[in-house]
Structures are given as structure tokens and as C-alpha cells.
Structure 1
Amino acid sequence: MLYGIAAATTAFLLAAFLAALIRPCALRLGLVDRRRARRVPALGGLAVVGATCLVAFAGDWTAVAPLGTGVGELVAAGGAVALLGVVADVWRLKTRFLLFGTAVAAACVVPYGEFGIAGGVLGAAWIAFVAVAFKGLDHADGLAGTVGVVTAFGVGACAAAEVMDGLAVLLSVLAAALTGFLLHNWAPARIALGAAGSLFTGFVLAAAALITRSGYDPAASAGVLFALTALASADVLLVVLSRLLAGRPVLRRGPDHLAHRLRRLGLTSQRATVVLGGASFAGVLVAVLVHGGWVARAGATCVACVTFSIVLLLLRVPVYGPRNAVPTQVSGHLRVRSG
């Protein structure tokens, strides 16, 4: 118990310190998040990755808090995914390469003995999906970090219920590192997670959630896993449906994510993050209760139904301008004219 508190405190302070060091370096190198209107340096997620890995491996190396079977491999695979994210931050890798690379890493940590070959392949694909979905959540200040903290506590509670102490400690350290990073990432953000941090966070959370559901009924597990990551899944579903309906390329960036639409409805950036964080907490809470047997598995089904309903409602919020808009100059002011 005392080590868990000490480890979380160390991860919190270390992530906050590293983020402060990384920010000026990223600005000098011109590594900024191009999705934002202002210059926000990327690569901030390296602070989360570094703090999480250092504290986790320190506890394992000193034998004070051994990670346990498979958890060390999970952290190592997450580190490899973070390196892939660094490459994406620097050279703007396409999403399909991120999915493939993350799926390969996920295939190395899936417990095939519990899920079988077919289940393991599906599990690896799901982990890759969640990792890339968390990357999409980094479109708003503080959002990916907030959802990551909430999800880490939920998955950690599931791990603790299964007496997976090493995994529970890892998730508490990740939650603390993300909280320390949020000191710099809360709106207005001074640094962004970037692909390295968001992919790492989504990967570790998804893989840990899958491991905690080993040995459970596949249908019930699917509901719990969805509820744990409902917010990230909703963001992907909303974006894909919106772009398909608008006839736009699915992989092209656009102002059509969850937080973008809430801001269109009048919420400030901070309030949008709080609302979405609360929605994530609701889904995670139901997942934990279903996992512990306190709520019937129908609770996870309700989360799915509510999620899809909200996605359909938010699809009605206009986010795209005229398709063939071209700028024109009128009386010294810039105006958009439809072609």
C-alpha cells in the first residue's frame, strides 16, 4: 500500500517535470501539433511514457513491487508503440501504419492460452483500435489525459478484483503520470500528448483490460471492454460516420470529433473536456460494477445503447463548411465564398 502511494507520487512529479523539460525542446525543433490553431508542442507524451516505465521497472527491479507474469512484456510492448508514435509525430505516419504496428505489438501480449488463436487475433485488433482511438482524443486540450486517468482507475479496479497486483500498480502509476502531465495539458494546453503518449496510453489500457477479462465469457467480456472504452469508441464512430455521410475521406483530419461538436453547441474547451470526462467515468463505473458482479451484464448493453444514441444526436451538429469554399477578399476582410 505504501509503495503504491510512493510510486504514484513519484510518477506524478516525474511526469510533470519531464513535460516541462520536453516543451522548449519540441518548440525549438518545430515539433508542434498541427491540428490546433496555435503552436502547441507535441511529444509531451514522452513524459508519461518515461515516468510510467521508469517507476514500474524500478519497483520490479528492486523486488518491492514485482510486475508479475506478462506485465513486464506489456510495458515493453507499450514502449515500442510509443517509439512508433514518436516516428509518427516527427514524420507524420499514416494511420494505417500506426494500426499495423500497434497490432503487431498487441499480438505479442495477448494471452492466447485464455482466448485461443482466433480470440487472440481479435483481441490484438481491438487493442490496436483503442490505441488509435486514444490518439484521436488528443484533438482537445486535456481530453485524452482525462479519459486516460478515468479509464486507468477503472481497469486498475478490475485488476485488483482479480488479484493482479502488478497490473493494478502499473495502472495506478499510469494514472498518476497522466495526472502530472495534465498540469501542462489542461486548457489552454502548453504541450500535447502527441502520438507517442496517446498510443502508449490507449495500448496499455486496452491490453490491461483484455488481460483482466481472461477466463470470462466472451460475450460478457465484449460488453465490459466496450464500456471501459466507450468514450474513445464513440469518438471514432462519430468521426467515421460523419465523414462517410459527408462524402469526405475517412482518414483526413477535420473538426468533427466529440469536443469539436460540443464547442459548436456553446461549451468552452474546459467544459467540453469535463463533460466528456464525466461521460467516460459513467461508462467505466458500469464496466467495473459488471466485472465485479454487482450489476447484471445488461448494464454494459445499456452503455452501448446510450453511446450509439449520443453519436446519432451529435451527427446532427453541423461541423463542415461549404464543400467547394474558396476565399475572396472584400473590403479588406477575408470572406468564404462557395464555388
Structure 2
Amino acid sequence: MALIAAVAGLGLLAFAVTSGCAGPLARVAVTWGLTDLPGGHKTHARPTPYLGGLAMALGTLTAVPAIAGDTTVTAIVAGALAVAVLGLLDDIVPQPPATRLAVETVVAGAVVLNGVCVPLTGTWLDLVLTTAWLVVITNSFNLLDNLDGTLGGVAVTGGSALAATAFLLDRPAAGVLLVVVCGSALGFLRHNWAPAKLFMGDSGSLFLGFVIASCAAVTTSMATPTGAILPVAAGLLLPTLVATVDTAVVVISRHRGGRPLLLGGLDHVAHRLRAAGLGTRLIATSLAFAAGLSGLLALAVSIGLLPAHLALLGAAALGLALAAAPPALRQTRQRRPAGPEFAAANCCAVGARSGSVSHCAASPTSNAR
């Protein structure tokens, strides 16, 4: 009972730290011009500051004293902070995709060498496959950050189920980390629920994706024997189902439409649900529910309550339901603001609403994918 109270206390502390830092960081973002401007395929109507990801990272640091004895989980935190810094740099000055992938691969490889490895083949190939999987899922979470409240809600519900799985599999440090990340994401949601006053930016989406992907690999390695393909697939895919389905939908849609993969558009699951008539808050709630449900399926598989093949069939049905929403109006070209005067005017308008701003600047970086 005391352990539950202590863990809950850490989650509440992370919530308070993130929520408390979000407002001041939003004002800093406006002052420095770290805002996402409306236009093109983006769904928000006014310039919105970044740095929500930095607030979540600060909240998560409250878990460090509790996990310091577990070198694998400590490595996950260090890796997540590294990709958060990478994302922050990308929020300030867009980085080339090759640079981002190179850094993410090095960070993921370092974490894998510290014990985050899925036992798929029992050979050195597991190191390569786990590293690749961490990079892919981290970027899938980055792509999922495309509508107010969506990624934060998915992180809270999916992360909570994964935390329960970690505790049941006797990985308390991973469980504590996930509880604290969920508390941080919930604190951020206070400012990101539609209509959003703050975006997490790449720093936040990469941070959340890396933590959840890494912890899913840890729980999978604890619950499955080497070479058990279906249990491994369930352990990896179920905790990350919503992000994985969204990425698959985007890749297929842009390939079929002959559009560049890295060009933002309205072909995400959230945009399709919006085209079907759902409101922004209902979409965020629905995707969060789907993430929580798939996370519970993963938990059931990990403790032997449900066969892996049945859980995967259920997840496939859930994924098809999400992907079956009609596509939004196709957009082949991303529109940009008319010029620097437009950007400066909008940024100044936000600054006027949020407090005194000494100077105005605008960032071309977009939170929509």
C-alpha cells in the first residue's frame, strides 16, 4: 500500500511540475518566436506556442531518484532526454531528416546496448531489429501529434496500461517511469485540450514515443521467450497500436497519392475521423480509449490471461476500424503564410494576449504532420 501511495505521489508531482511549467514556457516560446503558425493543412486557427515537450521532460525528471538503481530504465530516460533535445532543436531550426534519423539511431542503439532488447532471434540481429523498431515507433508518435489533445491522451491511457504491465512483470522502475510520464502528459493536456493553448512540439512527441517504445520492449523481453513471434508482436504492437495504425495509414495514403512522405497533409486517422463528422475533443477521447484498450490487451497477453493470436486479432479489428474512416479532402500542396510580415503580426498578436513581449519572431516549424 505504501508503494502504491509513493508511486501515485510521484505521478501527481510530475503532473504539478508539468502543469506549472507549461504557462511560463508558453510565454517564453512566444517571446522567442517558437510558435506554430496556422495555414495550409494545419487545423489550428491562431499561432500556438511550442515548448510543451520541455515541460513534460521537466516533470518526468521527478522520477530520476526512484529509478536510479535500474541502469536499463536510467538509460531509457537519458535516451528520451536526448531525442527531446533533438526535437527541440528541430522546433527551433528544422533539421534534415537524415540528421534526425542518424541521431535517433545512435540514441536507440545506446539504449539497446543497455538492456532494452527484444528476444526475437536470440542472436545479434535482435540488437539491430530492436534499434530499428525504437526509431520507427518514436517517429510514429511524432506523426501522431497532429490534433489537439490526441497524442497526450494516447500517452496517458496507453502508458497507464503499460505501467500496470511493468509492475506485474516485476519491473518497478519501468512502471514508475511510465506513471510519471503519464502524470506529465496529463499535466500537459490541461493546456493542450482543444482549443490548445500550447503544443508539445517535436521535443514532446519524440520524448513520449521513445519512452513508451522502450518500455514496451522491456516488458516484452520479460514476458516472452526467445523466438515466440506472436507474443513478441503482441508485446510490441499492442502498446503502440494507435501510433502504428496512424503511420501505416499515412504511408499507404501518400504512396497511393504520389505525395512525399514527409509533406504534411490531412490523411491522418484523426483528420479522417474529423472528416467523418467527429469533433476534436471526441476524436482525442476516442483515440485515447483505443490506446487504453489495446494496452489492456497487451497486459492480458503478458500475464497469460489471453493468447497472443486472439489479442492481435482484436487489435487488427480495432486498427481497421480506425483506418476505415473516410479520408479528408486531399491536399497536394502545403500553403505557407504570405510572408514575414504576416508571421510577425500573428506572433505579436499572441504575445499581446499572453503578456509583454520584447520582440516578435515567427518560426516556420509546424506541429502538424
Aligned positions of 1:214-293 closer than 5 A: 214=221, 216-217=224-225, 218-219=228-229, 220-293=231-304
Q: Distance in 2 between matches of 1:145 and 1:304?
A: 21
- The answer to whether residue 317 in structure 2 is matched with residue 306 in structure 1 is yes
Tell me the secondary structure at the aligned position of residue 49 of structure 2: coil
Residue 210 of structure 1 aligns with which residue?
A: 217
Q: TM-score, normalised by structure 1?
A: 0.88
Aligned counterpart for 1:192 among listed residues 185, 196, 199: 199
* 5+ long unaligned stretches in structure 1: 61-65, 326-339
| Alpha-carbon offset, residue 23 of structure 1 | 0.3
| Alpha-carbon offset, residue 323 of structure 1 | 7.7
Q: Distance in 2 between matches of 1:203 and 1:122?
A: 15
Q: Distance in 1 between matches of 2:140 and 2:235?
A: 17
Tell me the secondary structure at the aligned position of residue 213 of structure 1: helix
Aligned counterpart for 1:164 among listed residues 144, 167, 171: 171
Structure-2 change in CA distance of 1:166 and 1:244 (3 Å): same
What's the Cα RMSD here? 2.1
- The answer to whether residue 136 in structure 2 is matched with residue 137 in structure 1 is no
Aligned counterpart for 1:319 among listed residues 329, 352, 357: 329
Q: TM-score, normalised by structure 2?
A: 0.81
Residue 103 of structure 2 aligns with which residue?
A: 101
Q: Distance in 2 between matches of 1:94 and 1:77?
A: 20
Residue 82 of structure 2 aligns with which residue?
A: 80
2:161 maps to a residue whose letter is G
Residue 295 of structure 1 aligns with which residue?
A: 306
Q: Any idea what the Cα deviations from partners look like across 1:12-69, whole Å, max 9, x if unmatched?
A: 100001111100110111112344442111121100011102x112335xxxxx4423
Aligned positions of 1:35-46 closer than 5 A: 35=42, 36-46=44-54
Tell me the secondary structure at the aligned position of residue 217 of structure 2: helix
Residue 13 of structure 1 aligns with which residue?
A: 16
| Alpha-carbon offset, residue 197 of structure 1 | 0.8
Structure-2 change in CA distance of 1:32 and 1:127 (3 Å): same
Aligned length: 318
Q: Distance in 1 between matches of 2:96 and 2:174?
A: 31
| Alpha-carbon offset, residue 169 of structure 1 | 0.7
Residue 333 of structure 1 aligns with which residue?
A: none
Q: Distance in 2 between matches of 1:80 and 1:324?
A: 30
| Alpha-carbon offset, residue 113 of structure 1 | 7.3
| Alpha-carbon offset, residue 100 of structure 1 | 2.8
87-96 or 11-20: which moved more? 87-96
Tell me the secondary structure at the aligned position of residue 111 of structure 2: coil
Q: Distance in 2 between matches of 1:151 and 1:284?
A: 5
Q: Distance in 1 between matches of 2:331 and 2:72?
A: 49
Q: Distance in 2 between matches of 1:324 and 1:3?
A: 48
Q: Distance in 1 between matches of 2:47 and 2:324?
A: 32
1:23 maps to a residue whose letter is A
| Alpha-carbon offset, residue 227 of structure 1 | 1.1
2:129 maps to a residue whose letter is L
Q: Does the aligned pair in 1 maintain the 2:242–2:319 contact within 8 Å?
A: no
Return structure 1 stretches of 4+ with deviation > 4 angstroms: 321-325
Q: Distance in 2 between matches of 1:4 and 1:112?
A: 23
| Alpha-carbon offset, residue 161 of structure 1 | 1.4
- The answer to whether residue 187 in structure 2 is matched with residue 180 in structure 1 is yes
Residue 3 of structure 1 aligns with which residue?
A: 6
Aligned counterpart for 1:22 among listed residues 22, 25, 39: 25
Tell me the secondary structure at the aligned position of residue 317 of structure 1: coil
Q: Does the aligned pair in 1 maintain the 2:60–2:177 contact within 8 Å?
A: yes
Q: Distance in 1 between matches of 2:97 and 2:283?
A: 26
* 5+ long unaligned stretches in structure 2: 336-369
Tell me the secondary structure at the aligned position of residue 70 of structure 1: helix
Structure-2 change in CA distance of 1:323 and 1:71 (3 Å): closer
Question: Bigger relative contact order, structure 1 or 2, given CA contacts below 8 A and separation 6+?
Answer: 2
| Alpha-carbon offset, residue 97 of structure 1 | 3.1
1:319 maps to a residue whose letter is L
Residue 65 of structure 2 aligns with which residue?
A: 58
Q: Distance in 1 between matches of 2:104 and 2:46?
A: 29
| Alpha-carbon offset, residue 112 of structure 1 | 6.9
Q: Does the aligned pair in 2 maintain the 1:67–1:170 contact within 8 Å?
A: no
| Alpha-carbon offset, residue 143 of structure 1 | 0.7
Aligned positions of 1:112-151 closer than 5 A: 115=119, 116-151=123-158
80-89 or 276-285: which moved more? 276-285
Q: Any idea what the Cα deviations from partners look like across 1:43-98, whole Å, max 9, x if unmatched?
A: 21100011102x112335xxxxx442311111111111110011111111244433
Structure-2 change in CA distance of 1:304 and 1:253 (3 Å): same
